[in-house]
Amino acid sequence: MRARAGVSCKFAPVRRPPARGRMSKPPARVECPAVRPRQIRCPLGRPGSAPGGQLALLYPRNQIQIPMRKLLAFLAILSLGVALACWGLRLAGNPGGAELASGELEAEGALSPRAAELAGPRAPGPAAGGAPDLPAETRAAEEGAAQAEQDTGDEPQRPAHITGRVTDAAGVPVAGARVLLGGPGGLASPLPLEVKLERGVGAVEMTVSADDGHFKLPLRAGLGEPRLAVSAAGLARFSEQRPLRELPTGDWGEVRLAAAVVLTGRVLDHLGTPVEGARLESVPTSVRLPWDGPATGIPAGHSATDGSFRVDLLPAGAWELRAVSERHPTGAASGTTTRPGEQVNGIEIVLVESLALSGQLIGIPPGEGQGLEVRAHPARSSAGSMAEMAAETADPSLARRTAPVSSSGEFLLEGLRSDRGWRVYARLASGGQPAGDTRRSRTVEVPAGEARVELQWLGETLIRGRVGDATSGEPLLEYEVSARAGGARIRDRNGQGQLRREHPDGRFSLGGLRPREAGQTLELSVDALGYELWKRGSIRLDGAGELDLGELRLTPAGLVRVTVTGRGSGEPLGGAWVMLRPAEDPGAQIFGELPADLAPARRQNVQGRTDREGVVELTSFSGRTCEVEVSAREYARRLVEGVQLPARGVTEIAVELGRGGTVEVNVQGSAGEPLAGREVRTRRQAASDGGSSLFSARWEREDSDSTGLARFAHLSPGVHEFRLESSRAGASSFVAFVDSESASDVWVQANVVAGETVSIVLREEPRGALSGVVTEEGLPLVGALVSLQRDAADAQAFFMPGFGGNEVQTDASGAFRLGQLKPGDWILEVRHATRSMVARRELAVALGEQRFDLDLIVTALEGRVTDSAGRGLPGLVVTVAAQGEDSQRALFAISASSDDTGDMQFVGGGGALATVRSAADGGYRLRGVRPGQPLLVSASGGSWISAALEPVTVSEGRTSTLPDLRLSEGGTLELHIVAADDSAVGAVFISGQRSLDASGREASGGDENECHAMAQGGGATLSGLAPGTWRLKFHGMAGNGVEIDARDEVVTAGETRAVTITVR
């Protein structure tokens, strides 16, 4: 047996009692080659499972002008962030943390019964002292990466409290200000602290400032980037998030609150009657992350008996208020202010006509009528243009509604929009973790205007079976059983919610299955250590009752026993994390088609943590070449590659972890001065096989402290590369990943040696800085989003607020500053919630500070949207774009596999631009359009065919009145997607292109020849289709296995046609 780099592998012969009929083979040997440097690519979602949430970016076709590889890489990385975010919000899988596909932490190093049967007496572990020390050139070949979890041994001493002082803009102490302290508001937790405190989500500390303005809050252990929110009557709310390393003493410093603007008005229903008790929420207007839902506003008070309200916590700038009422659909109003202390009166938030839907849940079994609720989601709407889809996702009046169910089954859902249909179902109320499906009824689609619905209790199905060895027939006593049905995963748990692994006599009974449709099918999985994963799909559930599957036979597989010890000491490392996976690249689980070299691939892996003896046993990938990744706190991560696993038996792998080395990075300015707060990123030297590092998770980042030092500990020996990141704005690290292979990157190499500390210096290149003031006709444009793009192609192609890197919001005086800019040509862009288009200017950035003020002149277009008879059409989405460009709006969709509707959950934003809908008379006004260039104005919505006016050019500062935009009524296709075996169909994105018009002539280009929709629950409605032949394409969201051939459908104006589509 050869041992290299502290890794030893051996294949133990099979030892079984002769009575079991097992054949015996002479010992075999597995040799582990020296570990070579290699970028490790990781699948999305949690290890060992398909990602529970996926993200699709649905962008206007003409908008994508950047290289496709970068776009796909960006989407994959963004999907990874969303998958992790959904995991944190319990949207993307099962509670209870990471699942171990095989193997668990064994107490006192005890072998599992399966392992004892396969291998007999345990082979002795490595001798004390471990493997001999190896030459530096061999050790440099070890794979290493950033430890995912923080090394507490190297953390600076944490302060016990966060302190600070609240003052107003003049520096006068503010007493009685409410101060909140909580966790970061990044991907996994976008909610404001006020909302988290209200909902009991996460740990939020609260206090009020003393007479001298001082405050003190306890700092929760493990909180690396605390977030602070401060509010006081009449003063603008303050919110800031800072790395703990910037707060060595815990002193936040002085928190200055500017004077707030005052917003007063009334909340009225559709008849003009005052609405009492409506909850007012302040909604961000400029930067909205794509997964920010409509319920993330900051509480701002309630309406009085006469419907009046007064809000005095917002800074100057663009504002949006929502009024949330139990009995009415949510409404909103928006506007802008120009200076602190300004007062806006006479605001009216009108809530559209509501529907109260009463109903009953019929057939509740005795003892199960407690803790139930009903939920209503908007029924699938007719779909059309991207702008129409994006606008609907942000419509607060279509927010989900929930109501309790009484013990008799009665319920009343209020606040539903009366002009929309709703999908209604019963479930267990939120909270707690019951075993099985939380649904308690099938979904019933209620047409618009109906006020009564009946739901039928969803009975439980119990599946029984007996699991045994396929060779010997002996029962298996330890295994896990789970099922997937209707988009939800059900796992066998005991009464305490713990996974059930022990099964006397090999028998199991899996309950909690509730078929949502007649003939629904499920997939059953049985996972036992030392056996191939057993799966059976298309198990038909015909209703409540019991289903006995009889004998389930599992095929024996090999075992991999990994022993982890510390190098030098030879002591076993308990709690080390070990993952075994096939060596093939996993690719990425994202929506859409990929080039062959980035094609998605689903790869299983098995993982576990070592016991107190440093041992973990994992099911083998028999006959495949695998790699083993091992990490432990305060040790360098290791990767063992090229492990060829035999078909049977136990493969012993001994892995020694060293402490690794340390690199101290001194960040300095051009004059040698230390620079604090600079982000330093490290990675292993680029893979020798030329593989892209875009999907690599083997990165680590640190910020330089007050002395300019960034310290990276426990790095594996070998060559690591370091660089300074030029921007920290938004989630720019995603952009940094995408651009990581750029020729302009400056990486500095350091050769890490175990037990030693290497110091390197990173000097910040001389950069430029741009500051200025954005005004609109001489008045400060407060809350505008100012961003810089390197060239015109990037500026036009792909912008998502919060992800661009070089971006900032203007303050109360309209001022902005962007630093760390490379000299050269840039495109400056300004977006504002009151403007319909991006203002764009070209400029050159030089070294040092420079100023660029921008005064925007209000240029506008106005007109009416009408039908062919000249009657105004209300509620249609009106957009404007420069000729040859799109309206720069993106729609995002997040899929939640464990959501109990099984639906695609849409969220999205318009890129910090205004969304304009036609008024009751069809009128519209597009404010802040670009002067002096041809503009296209289009409208879409409902059953009307999208249409656009001829290009129009307007002079700066003028308002041009356009001719009526006349729309014609289109046709409708009602699509019903069904599976051949009657099983449920997952979410499907549908794109349509009109190929022929009604006269048979070829049709191409224009919004009227394109349509988009998302099929939810097997159905979608395509409305507003121009007459002719449409080519429909169907895209199953990543991982749901839906495959549908493209098809042609004929559409007739004014007609609705039902189309049934069967999934292959």
The CATH number given to whatever domain includes residue 752 is 2.60.40.10
| CA–CA separation, 1042 and 163 (whole Å) | 54
pLDDT tens across 29-57, in order? 333 333 332 222 233 333 333 333 334 44
pLDDT tens across 248-268, in order? 889 999 999 999 999 999 999
894 lies in the same domain as 824: no
Using the predicted structure, report yes or no on whether residue 623 has a pLDDT greater than 60. Answer: yes
| CA–CA separation, 44 and 54 (whole Å) | 9
Using the predicted structure, report yes or no on whether residue 317 has a pLDDT greater than 70. Answer: yes
Strand partners, 291: none
**Listed residues 188, 221, 249: the one ending a domain:** 249
960 lies in the same domain as 1030: no
1008 lies in the same domain as 1051: yes
Annotate 120-129 with b (16+ C-beta within 10 A) or e (fewer).
Answer: bebeebbeee
Question: Positive or negative CA dihedral for 159, 165, 166, 168?
Answer: negative
Among candidates 42, 52, 47, 48, which has minimal Cα distance to 76?
42
What φ, ψ does residue 334 adopt, rounded to 5°? -145, 165
125 lies in the same domain as 213: no
779 lies in the same domain as 797: yes
Using the predicted structure, report yes or no on whether residue 130 has a pLDDT greater than 60. Answer: no
Across 72-76, 578-582, 851-855, least confident range = 72-76
N-terminal to C-terminal alpha carbon distance within the chain: 50
Q: What is the mean pLDDT of residues 973-979?
A: 84
Q: What is the mean pLDDT of residues 575-599?
A: 58
**CATH number reported for the structural domain that contains residue 199 in this entry:** 2.60.40
What local confidence, expressed as pLDDT, does residue 90 receive? 35
- Any idea what DSSP says for residue 534? E
852 vs 295: which has the higher pLDDT: 852
- 40 located within any domain: yes
- 364 located within any domain: no
Output the average pLDDT for the chain: 76
H-run or E-run covering 79: helix 68-88
271 exposure class (CB count in 10 Å sphere: 0-12, 13-18, 19+): exposed
H-run or E-run covering 238: strand 235-241
Across 211-220, 538-547, 930-939, least confident range = 538-547
Using the predicted structure, report yes or no on whether residue 950 has a pLDDT greater than 90. Answer: yes
Q: Are 459 and 546 in contact (CB under 8 A)?
A: no
As given in the structure block, the two tokens for residue 528 are: 């036992």
As given in the structure block, the two tokens for residue 542 are: 């015909």
As given in the structure block, the two tokens for residue 752 are: 């890490």
Which region, left, alpha or beta, applies to residue 348 given φ > 0 means left and ψ of -120 to 50 means alpha? beta
Annotate 1010-1036 with b (16+ C-beta within 10 A) or e (fewer).
Answer: bbbbbbbbbbbbbbbbbbbbbebebbb
- 272 located within any domain: no
**CATH number reported for the structural domain that contains residue 34 in this entry:** 2.60.40.1120
As given in the structure block, the two tokens for residue 19 are: 């009575």
Q: Measured at the alpha carbon of residue 427, what is the angle toward residues 424 and 430, in degrees to the nearest 5?
A: 120
What local confidence, expressed as pLDDT, does residue 609 receive? 94
Q: CA 822 → CA 293, 498, 591, 727, 737, distances in Å?
A: 36, 55, 34, 11, 18
Across 77-91, 200-214, 518-532, 864-878, least confident range = 77-91
**Listed residues 699, 734, 763: the one ending a domain:** 763
- 181 located within any domain: yes
What local confidence, expressed as pLDDT, does residue 801 receive? 52
122 lies in the same domain as 38: yes
244 lies in the same domain as 219: yes
pLDDT tens across 559-570, in order? 999 999 999 899
Across 448-452, 646-650, 791-795, least confident range = 791-795
Using the predicted structure, report yes or no on whether residue 591 has a pLDDT greater than 50. Answer: no
Q: CA 158 → CA 240, 330, 725, distances in Å?
A: 19, 44, 26
Q: CA 288 → CA 100, 205, 299, 385, 613, distances in Å?
A: 36, 25, 17, 21, 49
Among candidates 370, 382, 419, which has minimal Cα distance to 398?
419
Beta strand spans in 867-1009 (E): 877-882, 890-896, 904-909, 916-917, 923-927, 935-941, 944-948, 959-961, 965-966, 971-979, 988-997
**pLDDT band, very low/low/confident/very high, at 821 (cuts 50, 70, 90):** confident
Q: Which of 280-289, 494-503, 917-926 has the highest mean pLDDT?
A: 917-926
955 vs 648: which has the higher pLDDT: 955
823 lies in the same domain as 754: no
Using the predicted structure, report yes or no on whether residue 356 has a pLDDT greater than 80. Answer: yes
SS3 119: helix
**Listed residues 856, 885, 908: the one ending a domain:** 856
- 428 located within any domain: no
504 vs 64: which has the higher pLDDT: 504
In this prediction the pTM is 0.68
**pLDDT band, very low/low/confident/very high, at 614 (cuts 50, 70, 90):** very high
12 lies in the same domain as 127: yes
Q: What is the mean pLDDT of residues 924-944?
A: 92
Q: CA 980 → CA 81, 276, 520, 984, 1048, distances in Å?
A: 35, 52, 11, 10, 20
Across 119-133, 650-664, 844-858, least confident range = 119-133
Beta strand spans in 699-778 (E): 699-703, 709-715, 718-724, 748-752, 757-763, 768-776
Q: What is the identity of the amino acid at 12? A: A
10 lies in the same domain as 120: yes
Q: What is the mean pLDDT of residues 989-1015?
A: 84
Across 192-201, 269-278, 1009-1018, least confident range = 1009-1018
- 7 located within any domain: yes
Q: What is the mean pLDDT of residues 305-322?
A: 91
| CA–CA separation, 540 and 520 (whole Å) | 6
**pLDDT band, very low/low/confident/very high, at 389 (cuts 50, 70, 90):** low
As given in the structure block, the two tokens for residue 261 are: 């603007």
Using the predicted structure, report yes or no on whether residue 206 has a pLDDT greater than 70. Answer: yes
Q: What is the mean pLDDT of residues 652-670?
A: 93
As given in the structure block, the two tokens for residue 123 are: 């082979």
What local confidence, expressed as pLDDT, does residue 15 receive? 35
Among candidates 413, 353, 422, 350, which has minimal Cα distance to 381?
422
Residue with tokens 């966060």: 162
Q: What is the mean pLDDT of residues 314-326?
A: 88
Q: What is the mean pLDDT of residues 83-90?
A: 40
843 vs 911: which has the higher pLDDT: 843
Using the predicted structure, report yes or no on whether residue 646 has a pLDDT greater than 70. Answer: yes
H-run or E-run covering 194: helix 193-199
What local confidence, expressed as pLDDT, does residue 906 receive? 42
What local confidence, expressed as pLDDT, does residue 826 receive? 92
Share of the chain above pLDDT 70, in %: 70
What local confidence, expressed as pLDDT, does residue 212 receive? 96
Structural domain including 646 reads 3-47+61-86+113-144+557-657
- Any idea what DSSP says for residue 506? G
774 lies in the same domain as 827: yes
Using the predicted structure, report yes or no on whether residue 178 has a pLDDT greater than 90. Answer: yes
**pLDDT band, very low/low/confident/very high, at 293 (cuts 50, 70, 90):** very low
- 265 located within any domain: no
**pLDDT band, very low/low/confident/very high, at 805 (cuts 50, 70, 90):** low
- 172 located within any domain: yes
pLDDT tens across 746-770, in order? 789 999 999 899 999 999 888 889 9
In the β-sheet with 545-554, what is the strand arrangement from edge to edge? Answer: 507-513, 461-469, 545-554
Strand partners, 632: none
Using the predicted structure, report yes or no on whether residue 966 has a pLDDT greater than 60. Answer: yes
**Which are the contacts of 254, defined by CB distance < 8 A and separation ≥ 6?**
164, 165, 166, 167, 171
500 vs 96: which has the higher pLDDT: 500
As given in the structure block, the two tokens for residue 934 are: 């041809």
In the β-sheet with 757-763, what is the strand arrangement from edge to edge? Answer: 709-715, 661-668, 757-763
SS3 138: helix
**pLDDT band, very low/low/confident/very high, at 704 (cuts 50, 70, 90):** confident
**pLDDT band, very low/low/confident/very high, at 272 (cuts 50, 70, 90):** very high
pLDDT tens across 540-553, in order? 877 778 889 999 99
**pLDDT band, very low/low/confident/very high, at 63 (cuts 50, 70, 90):** very low
738 lies in the same domain as 797: no
As given in the structure block, the two tokens for residue 921 are: 């008379």
Tally the domains of the chain.
6
pLDDT tens across 476-515, in order? 999 999 888 766 678 888 777 788 999 989 999 988 888 7
Q: Are 629 and 618 in contact (CB under 8 A)?
A: no
**pLDDT band, very low/low/confident/very high, at 83 (cuts 50, 70, 90):** very low
What local confidence, expressed as pLDDT, does residue 794 receive? 46
SS3 918: coil
Q: What is the mean pLDDT of residues 84-109?
A: 33
DSSP output for 310-348: EEEEEPSSEEEEEEEETTEEEEEEEEE--STT-EEEEEE
Residue with tokens 């099964």: 503
602 vs 137: which has the higher pLDDT: 602
Q: What is the mean pLDDT of residues 125-149?
A: 32
